[in-house]
């Protein structure tokens, strides 16, 4: 082997080693859980509701929000993902998961056996949650019934089926930063910001994405095509293209009943969201409305005009 070939071989080995190190799943240490914690099941249920757990993981063909056998198909340009069983079943669900394993799945996108999880689980938003809130969610998840339905395997082709590549994706889109309250804003606005940006993961649907599937930062909440590229997701910033003409009361009512200011009822995936936000307290819905009204107005695809009768 010539000198040039040897140098190239060394560079390849070093490159592969660097790639392996950079894409190694990063997890929170056990010390992140802290001592003296006492679970709050009521808060855990709030996190369950605002987090939309039932919307994706509820078993098909029944109406029990706590029957979480999974199976919902999430189509995307990268393949079809199936929401897994997250019931308390120890074989097919997460009943055998430890608390730290659960926290790392939610906040770092790392599974029980140390593999990267696909961001169909919106951990880029869940990373903003408080560890205590995720622990409360874990405690609540322990109370849901067991369901013995096996999780469906994802239908993903090459190269997206190579989970190690997600380590590179996370370097771009997972900053591991919790939600930081704005001291210039009220406690209510900051509470709304936490719910919208963190467990509520509103930006995950209401923001356009780049070719790699990451949210475009300067268009966050500005709406666009859905992940399947078939439907339209509205701008929810206070821009005329979005909810600029909506009052705080209008947004609060939508989150409670699903009714728009035009007395139209939302359906589809947003209808499922309302199933979650309708279970929040009035104060939390008001807080979310206040935060949305405080966002920078960003142009987006304007909503369809209502036909006059």
pLDDT (tens digit per residue) in 9-45: 666 666 666 666 778 899 999 999 988 999 999 999 9
Lowest mean pLDDT among 10-14, 152-156, 181-185, 211-215: 10-14
- In 3D, which of 89, 114, 92 has the Cα closest to residue 101? 114
Domain boundaries of the chain, sorted by first residue = 38-150+157-173, 187-294
- H-run or E-run covering 286: helix 282-294
pLDDT (tens digit per residue) in 199-227: 999 999 999 999 999 999 999 999 987 76
Beta strands in the chain (DSSP E): 73-76, 79-82, 224-225, 232-233
Domain 187-294: top CATH class = mainly alpha
pTM for this model (two decimals)? 0.90
pLDDT (tens digit per residue) in 67-125: 999 998 988 889 999 999 999 999 999 999 999 999 999 999 999 999 999 999 999 99
Q: How much is the average pLDDT of 290-294?
A: 98
């Amino acid at each position: 082997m010539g000198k040039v070939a040897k140098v190239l071989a060394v560079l390849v080995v070093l490159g592969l080693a660097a790639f392996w190190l950079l894409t190694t799943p990063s997890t929170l240490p056990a010390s992140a859980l802290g001592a003296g914690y006492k679970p709050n099941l009521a808060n855990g249920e709030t996190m369950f509701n605002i987090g939309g757990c039932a919307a994706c993981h509820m078993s098909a063909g029944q109406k029990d929000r706590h029957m979480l056998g999974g199976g919902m198909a999430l189509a995307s340009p990268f393949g079809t993902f199936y929401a897994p069983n997250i019931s308390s079943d120890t074989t097919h669900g997460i009943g055998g998961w430890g608390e730290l394993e659960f926290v790392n799945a939610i906040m770092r996108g790392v599974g029980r056996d140390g593999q990267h999880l696909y961001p169909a689980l919106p951990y880029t938003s869940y990373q903003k949650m408080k560890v205590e809130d995720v622990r409360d969610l874990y405690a609540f998840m322990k109370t849901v019934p067991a369901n013995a339905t096996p999780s469906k395997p994802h239908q993903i082709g090459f190269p997206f089926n190579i989970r190690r590549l997600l380590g590179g994706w996370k370097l771009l889109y997972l900053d591991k930063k919790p939600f930081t309250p704005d001291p210039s804003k009220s406690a209510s606005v900051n509470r709304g910001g936490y719910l919208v940006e963190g467990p509520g993961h509103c930006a995950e649907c209401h923001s356009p994405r780049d070719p790699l599937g990451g949210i475009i930062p300067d268009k966050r909440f500005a709406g666009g095509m859905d992940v399947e590229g078939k439907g339209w997701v509205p701008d929810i910033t206070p821009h005329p293209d979005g909810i600029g003409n909506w009052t705080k009361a209008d947004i609060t009512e939508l989150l409670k009943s699903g009714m728009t200011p035009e007395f139209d009822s939302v359906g589809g995936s947003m209808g499922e969201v309302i199933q979650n936000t309708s279970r929040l307290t009035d104060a939390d819905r008001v807080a979310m409305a206040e935060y949305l009204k405080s966002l920078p107005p960003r142009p987006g695809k304007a909503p369809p005009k209502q036909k006059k009768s």
